[in-house]
Each structure stands twice: as structure tokens, then as C-alpha cells.
Amino acid sequence: MLTLISVLLLVGAGLTVYFVTHPNRSNIIDVDVADGTSSEVRFESLALIPGASSSYTVRLNSEVTDEYEVVLEFDGTASAGLCENLVVEIDCKGMANRKTAKLTELLSGKSIIIYDTLTEGEPYEIKITYHLPESVGNEAQNTEASFDLTIKTSNAGGFYE
């Protein structure tokens, strides 16, 4: 199955950078962040068979050590059988617990919010895994999802206080 991921970075004063990762390459997406950065990752035709998973790692690279709020927002469409059954797991460096939600919840406006310190020179990794449980039946047959994942970062100065 072919999954094409494109990354559109909107940084500061209108600088736009566009990446396309190919299925043969690593599923690692590097994003340079600053206060107010917004990055968009496009998932086209994500399709899984029951029991299968697909993982991507977003590495946030900061030029300064600071406290950040990172917001993950999903927007797009998915076939009902896939949307209601696809489990999205978010695992972040420094987080004791993983965050898990059904794709249908995330496409309905639920955001994942992470508060943490990004350290200069040390990539902050967010691993995103899409998993279709083996117990899913025919309702997910021949289904797919296409959506955008927007990653917003902002300085959260003092959230530890």
C-alpha cells in the first residue's frame, strides 16, 4: 500500500518549506520550531489491514532550550469503517504515559496538547502510530483515510511554576 506524506512548514515571516517523503525512505519527519511555528503533515490514502500498524516520528528541533506547548490537530476525512476503528497512539519523549484516541475523535476536533521542554540541539521526538486492531471485520475492508496533522508550537513560559 502506498502512503504519501508531505510536510508543509509555515515558519515565522512567511518562509515556506515543502518536503515529500517516499515509501522507501524513513518515516522520520524533521521540523524546526520556534515560538508560533505551525507545521502541517499530509497523510494521503492511509490504509491498513486488520492487525497492522504504521508509525511516523516527528522530530521537533529547537534552537533554544525553552518550555513549549505543542498542539497536535487532525483535519480530514476517513471512511467510516476505518475512522471508527483506527487507533492513534501518541508517544512523546519525556512523557510517562502515551495518549491514545480513535481517529474519529481526532477528526472531530479533539486536540492533543503536550507541555514539555524542548532542548537546544536535542530533537524532541513525537512518535505517532496508527493501528487497526486485528478484531476489526469487514467494515474496514477497502477503506482509507486522508488527513492533515497540524503541529503548532508556542512558548509556554512558566508552565512548570
Q: Give the tens place of pLDDT for each residue, 94-127.
A: 566 688 899 999 999 899 988 888 889 899 999 9
Residue 161 forms part of a structural domain: no
Residue 116 forms part of a structural domain: yes
Provide the residue range defining the domain that includes 124.
4-155
Residue 14 forms part of a structural domain: yes
Residue 160 forms part of a structural domain: no
**Residues 54-72 as b or e (16 or more Cβ within 10 Å = b):** bebbbbbebeeebebbbeb
Number of structural domains in the chain: 1
The average pLDDT across 63-75 equals: 89
Residue 124 forms part of a structural domain: yes
Alpha-carbon gap, residue 53 to 34, rounded angstroms: 31
pLDDT tens track for 20-42: 333 434 688 888 887 677 888 88
For the record, the C-alpha cell of 116 comes out as 514539555
Whichever domain contains 56, its CATH number is 2.60.120
Percent of the chain having pLDDT more than 70? 77
